[in-house]
Amino acid sequence: MSDKPKFLQKIGYMLYGARFLFVWAFLWLSLICMVAVTPGEHRRRRIARKLGIYAFHLSGAWPTIIGLHQLPKNAAIVVANHASYLDGPLLAAVLPHRFQFVIKREISQIKLLSFVLHRTGEHFVDRFDPKRGTSGTRRILKTATNGASLAFFPEGTFRLEPGLRRFQNGAFTIAARNNMLLVPLTIRGTRKMLPQGSWLPRPAQLEIIIGTPLDTTENQDLAIAMEHCRMQILQAMDEPDLLEKK
């Protein structure tokens, strides 16, 4: 008898995952077609955001959003924790379409995904090639100087192990040089819904928690800016600080 509820639960998870993948596959193909023919980067980002909203609603995974009033209406840099492949699509659906994402260059090896991301004006940075990494940073700096809002995952990547990793300083350097607001944002639930190594989503409650912005015009100390954002995210994550293990 005890095995029956577990079996039914497993079937439920599989049905949920199948529905999730069906919805996302249909909307993903729609997005590829639409960004291919739509003129204008801003229009393409609007389309991507709208389809992302549909995808999370139709798959029953739309997040609870806390602190939306903290998100500045002017140019800003959002920094968020990274735990799952769902994090990027989730932020793209939640954040206004003016935000452009800074993404590790390895993602560009996935051809169709790379096509969509280039068409929506996202930025790629190389974590391993210093020359290409510097070139990418210059382009992002120019974009920020022109008044664009940016979204970063300052951990750079994610691992199966729960917890918050070390932050890289790129987002904080760009914010300080352009006197931009830094907004810490915490993502909860995506690691449970789609952990590293899994391709079948499971039911989980997703949350977005937007923290108190830091005005870099008043404080341009990178260490302080990183600590401010990192501690807000860590306190809202309910996961361990992986720096303390070192």
pLDDT tens by residue, 90-107: 999 999 999 999 998 888
Is 104 in contact with 82 (CB distance < 8 Å)?
no
DSSP string, 176-191: HHTTPEEEEEEEESHH
The whole-angstrom separation of Cα 143 and Cα 137 is: 10
What is the phi-psi region of residue 197: left when phi exceeds 0, alpha when psi lies from -120 to 50, beta otherwise?
Answer: left
* Residue for token pair 């979204």: 151
What's residue 246's pLDDT? 57
The pTM for the full model equals 0.91
Per-domain boundaries in the chain = 3-245
Third-level CATH fold of 3-245? Glycerol-3-phosphate (1)-acyltransferase (3.40.1130)
What's residue 1's pLDDT? 46
The whole-angstrom separation of Cα 231 and Cα 54 is: 32
What's residue 217's pLDDT? 82
What's residue 6's pLDDT? 82
Residues paired with 106 in a beta bridge: none
What's residue 77's pLDDT? 96
pLDDT tens by residue, 106-156: 888 899 999 999 999 999 887 655 555 556 677 888 888 788 899 999 998
What's residue 34's pLDDT? 97
Intervals of the chain under pLDDT 50: 1
